[in-house]
Structures are given as structure tokens and as C-alpha cells.
Chain A
Amino acid sequence: MDIWDKSLLLILLRRHLESERTVDWQTLHKRDRSWALAQPEQSAWRLLHGWLQQWGGSRVGSSTLFVYGAYVAALVFGFALMAGLLAFQPFQRINLLWFLSLAVLLPFAWWLLALFFTTAQVPLPLHTLIEHRLPPGSFPAALRPLLKQTVIALGQQLSLLFSIGMLIAFLLYLLMTDLAFGWSSTLDLGGGVIHQITSTLAWPWRTLWPAAVPSLELIEQTHYFRAAPLTAEQPALFGQWWRFLLMCLLIYVLLPRLITTAVARIRLNRMLGRVRDNDALISGLWQRLTTGLIDQEMEAVDQREAVDAVSETESLTRRYGQIVCWGLWPDELIGPLREQLAGEGADAVWIELDSGTSADEVQASLAELPDEPLLLLCKGWEPPTGELADLCQLLGQQRSRLFLWPVPLSGMDEARQSRLIQSWQPFMRQIPDRFHLVSGRVPDGVVHA
């Protein structure tokens, strides 16, 4: 997958992932990881490409045709420009000044302009140039730097191919035809000025290839005038310029482009990696594809509905004939309570039962007592259990008026207490309706530990 496809892939991925921004991570991870595990071993980019394809992102890859078309067009344009310069007038001398301006200076100036836009942090008019050509939908603003870098790298690449096209045409014409270069200007420049310019231009290769540095003699001998008759004493002289021009093309046109193309491609490649690894959405996808899925699976079961039943409650009085204390209570809790409810002045019978007491024992302890109101004391801070429900059933058969008091734990905050007592409300529906729920605080004087 080439870098252009990678760029397009990231842009399209990001566009697709925008819609999943707030979807539960676990759902996405489950989906993406199970898809990734079913894929054969392949590169990261292929994997991302494959992932997008399953959502109809088939546009990735279509850029290849466009890019290769553009490559060919750039080559052809470069070739055509050079061919035009060299063969526009096949039987005339080619004016060096004209050639240098169009084939060397102009591409070099264009390269400088591109360098300015690339390095001076000047925003490219991206929206006008590129974004309206992209598939419909809002362009992800977070990827604007990637798009800019892609445009820069593609521009450099096409310019490089344009230069190569020029070079190929130049070499072909050198080989196939006899090119006659000379120089001519309406201004009286003189050979010295031209020599100065060409010597400056030839400075980078003067030691490497001295033959490609034009001499003053050559410059003077190849000076021609349109109005003067053609001189044919030394026609080979007019061909000697090719070395200099070839080096100009190589050093001022091809080499800068080669360097900037390489740099732009390296920068784009790095940015592609950065986007894949750091973009909040794309890196998230990458993480989901490559990280083992830790999943919590919950078995679907039908739990009991929490019934918010409300039973009528009565206040605590002292009119109970019998008081049954359910459970094992610490003495410091039950002692003062017993004192208050069944102590001196109160005629209530005090019976203590717990989960170890059998039904027969319960019946035996109540059988000899009259059918008087019975108060059942329970720990209000503990939830009611099935064993208590069983006891209530048994008591319901023995007595006609029953009171159930979940004794609150003193020292506990009101909110917690009321939540705990709440559990007793639905419990009242499970026991005989002879039971009345008593609510109330522990009488004064009873202080729990």
C-alpha cells in the first residue's frame, strides 16, 4: 500500500469512526477484535484497510489510478515542455537564455515557492484545492495537517516526475538530433556577463566535470544575431553547450526536487505513523484490533423484582400481652429493651426464640398463653430472612393480633436506617396479614452499644 493510499485510508477511517465516537468501548472492542482474529497475518495498513472495506470503504485503492495517472501526466508534461523548447524551431539555434529561463530558472523558482509554503507554516488553500474533491461529508479537522503534508508530498513527487520528463526529453533529443545552442539578446550584454552567469551556475560541478563549464571562447563563438547570416565554420561548437545544460538540469531542477521529494515522503510517512498511533479515534481502533479483548460476560437470568411496597405502620404501645424476641441479641442491646417493654409495670410475657428453635418448641411455648396481642421483635438493621417468614407463619396460626417491630439500631444515620427498614415493607406481603408493622425509635433509656 503506497503512502497516498495510506493517507486516504486514514482520512476515510477517521470519517467513519466519527460516528462511533460515543459508542461503548466494549461493544466496539468485541466487534473489532473478533473480526481481527479471523483475519490472516498481514501488515497493519492492510488490516486497517480490510477493516474499512467491511463498512463499504472501497474508495481506498481507487486513489492509485488517480495518482499513477497524475504521474504519467507529469512525465508527459515535462517531456512536452522540453521537447517544445528544443524542437519548436528544428532548424534554428536554441537560445540559451530562453532555455535557462524556462527549463531551469522557472522550475527552480517554483521549487523555492513550494519550499516557502512547506516550511513557512503558511496554510495552503486546502479547502479550495483539495477538500471539495474528497467524498462528501465533513472533513475531519484533526487530520488537516495530514492532508497538508500529503498535498505537499504529492506536489513534490509530481514535480520530480515533471523534471524527469524534461530530462528524458533532453537526453533523447541529444541522442537523436543535433542540437545547436547559442545565445542571443537584444541588449548588448557581452560575453563577459554571460560568462559570469554561467560560471556562477557551474560552480557546483566545476571541479567534478570541468568540461561542463563553458569557456569565454565558447560563449563568444556561440553568440548569434537574428539579422546576421548563419555561420557554419564550426557547427560542432553549438553542440558543446549540452554538458553545461545537462548539469544545470541535474543540479538546479532534478536534485532539489529529489531532496525535497525524499524529505516530504519521509515526513509524510512519519506523520502517517503518528496519526495511526496517536489520533484519538484511529489509534483507538488500532488498539481494539490488536489488544486482547477483556470482556465481562453476564449470564442472563430473571432476578426478583424489587417491590417498593408500602405497608401501614403503627406506633409502639405498651399493650402487648406477649413479646417474642427473635434472634440472638447481645445483652447490652436486649437487656434495657426488655426492661422497658416487659419490665416492672408491664405485664407482657417475654419469650426468646432463634433460628435453632423448632416449630414444636414454638408451639409449646405459646400454647399455654392466652390469645393476646403479640409483639415480635426483630433486628431492624438486618434484612428479614426465610426463617423469620416461617416463624411468622407459625405465629399467625396461633394469634389473632400480631405486631412486628424491626428494632432500629441507634447511632445509625436516618437515611441508612430508613433504607434498611424499607426492606421490611415488601416482607409484610410474605407473611399473614394479621401482622402489623410497627415503626418507631427505641424508647428512651435504651442505648445500644
Chain B
Amino acid sequence: MPDYPVMAVVGHPNKGKSSVVAALTQNDQVQISPLSGTTRVAQHFTLKLDNRTVFELVDTPGFQRAGKCLAWLNAQELAADQRPARVAEFVEAFSGSGQFVDEVELLTPIIRGAGIIYVVDGSLPYSPEYETEMEILRWTGRPRLALINPIGGDRYVAQWQQALNQYFSLVRLFDPLHASFDQHLQLLRTFGELDAHQGQGFAQAIEQLERYRQLKLQQAARILVENLYRLLTYQQSSNRLEQAAQAQLPGLLSDEITRFNQHLNRMEREGQQQLEALFLYHRLESDIGRLEVHQSELMDESQWTLWGLEKNQLVLVSAGAGAAIGLLADVGLGGASLLTGAISGGVLGGLSGWFGLDWLKQQLPPWLQFSAEKHLLGPVKDPNFAFVILGRALSHARAMLSRSHADRERLTIREDGLNRMRSLELKTQVRLLKQCRQLVKQGPQGQAAAQLRDWVYRQLTA
């Protein structure tokens, strides 16, 4: 018997056993089918911490011939203490025989020491036929927990609860498709309660999972803020626009704006995929609308640089050089000029830089490598753009985080991200806008980025 807890997920066919396993192991690669009987052999899912198994779940096929199985077990009059051995005898007798294939598969992990998670569908009526299965499970003598899975509603949950209470020491309602992470942990805690010997193992697993989740959420906040920075600072340069004749400009500009929008959407999707990869969603398709900015919202200017310096920087350097020369003259006069030289030199240098650079631009020989003229589109100048990005990113992240790994539908994202941002307190909105502006200036390592990361983290954990 392994030194870690093992739970076998059993039940009638098509009651969502595989969904429960997918949700609890956070593994969206577990095969889930709406058709019954697709689980043929027991499949083991282990949760490991640094290669040490913390617990194991066994997804089993559903009971197919429970009545006959119980009849076989009942064929001999036995005292209660001998019943587990009788079940083991059943497994041994029919293992590899071609009969009771599903029952042998589902009972094998149990007779080897696994605890039992019995899954039923709370949206369908209870029937006494289930008692056969529950009776077989009682014969095994293993700790048992019943999960009512409200796949399509909770109409019959109370009915089920009454029946299950008679066979199981713990009965819980668990929706694998919509359960939050905390509900997953709560269920694991319940497993711990089920078997006092294994409780320590589950407590450790829960602690690790909580810590792991926290680290991932912090990482998610970093990804969101960095992606926000990338989108807010994105600039597209184009030599094509600069070289085009005036008449061709409108057509080309529209092309360039389309290209700009495509790139923005690609960057946003990359950020979303990064989050999906972090939280192990492999097959996620979302229905979020495209991000679109218009020409009026974009900075649109020509930029000329010389040796990597833009015009205003060159003017500053020119003014600085003038001031330095003037200062030398002041020193030469023993300070008697009261820094007139430095001031007038600075002003003269600055003015010659301002007016002379355009002239210099024409005079520069083509071989002067570091001179370049380009047309820049972006970044988006509308301050609300930061809210749009942040709102969309949070909507995507929230939809993804609240999604169970057992869910196979498209990710539905509520397009009210911006409204949610606008519904924030005015004080918070102003602070966020200020932080976004500072983020652009300071970069993702600045103080504003750290504050934004904290805020995003709180939003994700709220």
C-alpha cells in the first residue's frame, strides 16, 4: 500500500467522474465524453510535489453489472468483517476472465486501499437501483465520500442527500464545471477528514496548492502589467509613409493603421496565451472582441534623429555646449561677468540648435550613418486606452481563473471590462490613470509598475 492517499472516483456510468478528476487535478487533458461508458480502464492521476506523490485519484469505469456483482457477493452468508475479503475474492475470481470487466477495474484500486469518492448526478432522480452499487462499496469497508454533481441542475439534490446519508459518512455537493479553486481545496480537506491516517498528506497538499496558486497569481499580475506596458508604448515606424507622395498618404495611412491594430491584437493575445499557459489551459478559445484604435487616437509624427538623438535632445546638447564655452569665458574673467558668458552661451547654443538643425538636416551627406528620418504611428494617446486594456485583460483573466479544467466549452468573456473599470471609485480611477502614465515613463521595473501589480493581484484574488 502506498504511503500517500489514494482515492478512487467511482459511480454509475456518465455521472461526471472524469469531470471531477479533471477539476481536482486541474488537468484539462482528462478525456471527458458526453457519451456513457467511454472510461473502460481505471486511470491513475497523481499529484506530485517535486516527484513525491502527494495524492492519487483513480478515474474508474462505471458499474455495469452491479446487481449480478452483489448477487455473487451475497452467494455466501458472511459476517460483516469478512465482506472486504469477499470483494477481494470477487476481483481475483473475475480478473482477466472477460466477465465483470468494469467492476473488476473499479474495485481493484479500492481493495488495494484506495478511499472511495462516489459520484452521482443531482439533476436526475434517485433510484433504488443505486443502492446495489452503494451496498457493494459498503462491503469494501473503505472510507467513503459521496459527491453530488449537479451537472444539469440541482432539482433532486435533497432526494439524493437523504439516500446517500445512509451509506456515506460524508456527502458533499460539488460542481466540477463551476467550482472555484477554494471549493477544490475544501473538497481536498474533506478527503482528509474522511481518512484520519491520510489527513496529514492532504493538509500538506492543500498548503502546497495554496502557495502554488498564490505564486501563479503574482506571476499573472506581472504578465498583465508588462503586457499593459507593451501595448501602451507600442510605436510603429514606417519609412513607407515618409517616402510616399502626398497624394498616396491617405491610402497608405489606412493600411498602416490596420497593421497597427493587427499588431496590438497580436500582442494582447500573446499576453492572454501567456496567462493560459501559466494556468495550464491548453485548448482555450475565447470569444473576446478585437481591440481597435482609430487614427484620431494615435500619436502620428515624423521623427528625425542624428546619432540616436532626437531634435529636442540635440538642442539640449547644443545649449549645454554653448553654456560650457560661456562658462570658460566667465572663468577667464575671474567670475567678474557674473555667469553672463554661460547664460548667453547656453541661449545662443540652444537657438542655433533649434534653427540650425533643419538646415543641417539638408546638408548632411548620405554616408552619415546615424541620421534617420521615419514616420511614427503610436503610441495611443487616449488616456482611456490604458483602462480599456486593463479592463479587457482582467475580464479575460477572471473568466479563465473561474473556469474549471473540466469545462470543454469556449471561454466566454464578459465584454464589460471597461464598465467595471469605470465603476471603480473616482479616486481609484485617477490613481490608476496616473500609475499608467508613470508606467509608460518608468518602465515595468518602476514604482508605478509595482503599484499596478499589487492592484491587479488584489483584483485577481478578490
Contact: B67 with A355, CB < 8 Å?
yes
Contact: B308 with A126, CB < 8 Å?
yes
Residue of B nearest to A131 (CB): B308
Question: Is A40's beta carbon under 8 Å from chain B?
Answer: no
Contact: B43 with A299, CB < 8 Å?
yes
Contact: B27 with A298, CB < 8 Å?
yes
Contact: A101 with B334, CB < 8 Å?
no
Query: In the complex the two chains form, what is the Cα distance from A197 to B332 in whole Å?
Result: 11
* Residue in contact with A386 in the complex, picked from B30, B49, B65, B212, CB distance below 8 Å: B65
Question: Is A50's beta carbon under 8 Å from chain B?
Answer: no
* Residue in contact with B45 in the complex, picked from A33, A291, A296, A412, CB distance below 8 Å: A296
Contact: A383 with B47, CB < 8 Å?
no
**Chain B residues with Cβ under 8 A from A327's Cβ?**
127, 129
Question: Is B201's beta carbon under 8 Å from chain A?
Answer: no
Contact: B450 with A278, CB < 8 Å?
yes
**Chain A residues with Cβ under 8 A from B124's Cβ?**
381-382, 409
**Chain B residues with Cβ under 8 A from A34's Cβ?**
51
Query: In the complex the two chains form, what is the Cα distance from A246 to B445 in whole Å?
Result: 41
The segment out of B192-200, B269-277, B413-421 that lies at the interface is B269-277
The segment out of B1-9, B172-180, B218-226, B243-251 that lies at the interface is B218-226
Question: Is A105's beta carbon under 8 Å from chain B?
Answer: yes
Query: In the complex the two chains form, what is the Cα distance from A322 to B252 in whole Å?
Result: 79
**Chain B residues with Cβ under 8 A from A101's Cβ?**
328, 331
Query: In the complex the two chains form, what is the Cα distance from A407 to B156 in whole Å?
Result: 18
Query: In the complex, how many angstroms separate the beta carbon of B46 from the nearest chain A beta carbon?
Result: 5
Question: Is B208's beta carbon under 8 Å from chain A?
Answer: yes
**Chain A residues with Cβ under 8 A from B49's Cβ?**
292-295
The number of residues on chain A lying at the interface, defined by a beta carbon within 8 Å of a beta carbon of chain B, is 86
Decide: A412 near B152, CB < 8 A? Known: A279-B222, A383-B12: yes
Tell me the residues in window 32-66 of chain B with beta carbons closer than 8 Å to chain A beta carbons.
33-51, 54, 62-66
Contact: A386 with B64, CB < 8 Å?
yes
Chain A positions 371 through 400: 1 when the CB is less than 8 Å from some CB of chain B, otherwise 0: 000000001011111110010000000000
Query: In the complex, how many angstroms separate the beta carbon of A18 from the nearest chain B beta carbon?
Result: 10
Tell me the residues in window 95-142 of chain A with beta carbons closer than 8 Å to chain B beta carbons.
101, 105, 109, 113, 116, 121-123, 125-129, 141-142
Question: Is B374's beta carbon under 8 Å from chain A?
Answer: no
Question: Is B412's beta carbon under 8 Å from chain A?
Answer: no
Query: In the complex the two chains form, what is the Cα distance from A127 to B372 in whole Å?
Result: 13
* Residue in contact with B65 in the complex, picked from A127, A304, A387, CB distance below 8 Å: A387
Decide: A187 near B332, CB < 8 A? Known: A128-B308, A294-B47: yes
Decide: A271 near B270, CB < 8 A? Known: A125-B309, A291-B215, A294-B212: no
Question: Is B95's beta carbon under 8 Å from chain A?
Answer: no
Chain A positions 418 through 449: 1 when the CB is less than 8 Å from some CB of chain B, otherwise 0: 01001100100000000000000000000001
Tell me the residues in window 137-184 of chain B with beta carbons closer than 8 Å to chain A beta carbons.
152, 155
**Chain A residues with Cβ under 8 A from B50's Cβ?**
33, 37, 292-293
Contact: A330 with B222, CB < 8 Å?
no
**Chain B residues with Cβ under 8 A from A305's Cβ?**
38
Question: Is B383's beta carbon under 8 Å from chain A?
Answer: no
Contact: B277 with A23, CB < 8 Å?
yes
Query: In the complex the two chains form, what is the Cα distance from A129 to B12 in whole Å?
Result: 71
**Chain A residues with Cβ under 8 A from B155's Cβ?**
411
Decide: A296 near B26, CB < 8 A? Known: A33-B50, A416-B152: yes
Contact residues on B (Cβ < 8 Å of other chain), bracket = 35 or more
Query: In the complex the two chains form, what is the Cα distance from A409 to B153 in whole Å?
Result: 14
Query: In the complex the two chains form, what is the Cα distance from A412 to B151 in whole Å?
Result: 12
Query: In the complex the two chains form, what is the Cα distance from A123 to B233 in whole Å?
Result: 15
Question: Is A76's beta carbon under 8 Å from chain B?
Answer: no
The segment out of B256-264, B278-286, B386-394 that lies at the interface is B278-286
Contact: B37 with A383, CB < 8 Å?
yes
**Chain B residues with Cβ under 8 A from A409's Cβ?**
124-125
Query: In the complex the two chains form, what is the Cα distance from A102 to B99 in whole Å?
Result: 100
Query: In the complex, how many angstroms separate the beta carbon of A412 from the nearest chain B beta carbon?
Result: 7
Contact: A287 with B219, CB < 8 Å?
yes
Decide: A142 near B129, CB < 8 A? Known: A21-B270, A105-B331: no
**Chain A residues with Cβ under 8 A from B282's Cβ?**
24
Question: Is A232's beta carbon under 8 Å from chain B?
Answer: no
Decide: A109 near B324, CB < 8 A? Known: A304-B37, A306-B33: yes
Tell me the residues in window 33-48 of chain A with beta carbons closer than 8 Å to chain B beta carbons.
33-34, 37
Contact: B445 with A422, CB < 8 Å?
no
Contact: B64 with A385, CB < 8 Å?
yes
Contact: B222 with A385, CB < 8 Å?
no
Contact: A390 with B65, CB < 8 Å?
yes
Chain B positions 210 through 232: 1 when the CB is less than 8 Å from some CB of chain A, otherwise 0: 00100110010011011101100
Residue of B nearest to A307 (CB): B35
Contact: A384 with B36, CB < 8 Å?
yes
Question: Is A22's beta carbon under 8 Å from chain B?
Answer: yes
Residue of B nearest to A413 (CB): B152
**Chain A residues with Cβ under 8 A from B75's Cβ?**
none
Contact: B313 with A123, CB < 8 Å?
yes
The segment out of B347-355, B395-403, B436-444 that lies at the interface is B436-444
Question: Is B338's beta carbon under 8 Å from chain A?
Answer: no
Question: Is A206's beta carbon under 8 Å from chain B?
Answer: no
**Chain B residues with Cβ under 8 A from A354's Cβ?**
67, 129
Contact: A383 with B222, CB < 8 Å?
no
**Chain A residues with Cβ under 8 A from B102's Cβ?**
386
Query: In the complex the two chains form, what is the Cα distance from A193 to B335 in whole Å?
Result: 8
Query: In the complex the two chains form, what is the Cα distance from A256 to B411 in whole Å?
Result: 59
Question: Is A70's beta carbon under 8 Å from chain B?
Answer: no
**Chain B residues with Cβ under 8 A from A145's Cβ?**
442-443, 445-446
Tell me the residues in window 292-350 of chain A with beta carbons closer than 8 Å to chain B beta carbons.
292-299, 301-308, 327-330
Query: In the complex, how many angstroms separate the beta carbon of B330 from the nearest chain A beta carbon?
Result: 11
Decide: A122 near B313, CB < 8 A? Known: A330-B125, A387-B66: yes
Query: In the complex, how many angstroms separate the beta carbon of A130 from the nearest chain B beta carbon?
Result: 10
**Chain A residues with Cβ under 8 A from B367's Cβ?**
none
**Chain A residues with Cβ under 8 A from B280's Cβ?**
24-26
Question: Is A365's beta carbon under 8 Å from chain B?
Answer: no
Contact: B320 with A113, CB < 8 Å?
yes
Query: In the complex, how many angstroms separate the beta carbon of A198 from the nearest chain B beta carbon?
Result: 11
Query: In the complex the two chains form, what is the Cα distance from A301 to B219 in whole Å?
Result: 34
**Chain B residues with Cβ under 8 A from A116's Cβ?**
320
Contact: A22 with B274, CB < 8 Å?
yes
Query: In the complex, how many angstroms separate the beta carbon of B158 from the nearest chain A beta carbon?
Result: 13
Query: In the complex, how many angstroms separate the beta carbon of B339 from the nearest chain A beta carbon?
Result: 14
Contact: B307 with A125, CB < 8 Å?
yes
Contact: B68 with A296, CB < 8 Å?
no
Contact: A141 with B65, CB < 8 Å?
no
Question: Is B116's beta carbon under 8 Å from chain A?
Answer: no
Question: Is A65's beta carbon under 8 Å from chain B?
Answer: no
Question: Is A275's beta carbon under 8 Å from chain B?
Answer: yes
**Chain B residues with Cβ under 8 A from A105's Cβ?**
328, 331
Contact: A278 with B308, CB < 8 Å?
no
Contact: B445 with A25, CB < 8 Å?
no
User: A305-B38, A381-B124, A382-B12 given. 5 additional CB < 8 A pairs?
Assistant: A280-B223, A287-B215, A292-B49, A330-B125, A419-B34
10 A-B pairs within 8 Å (CB atoms) are namely A125-B308, A127-B308, A187-B333, A274-B445, A279-B222, A280-B226, A301-B42, A306-B38, A384-B37, A449-B125
In the A-B complex, the 4 residue pairs with the closest CB atoms: A355-B67, A128-B308, A125-B308, A386-B64
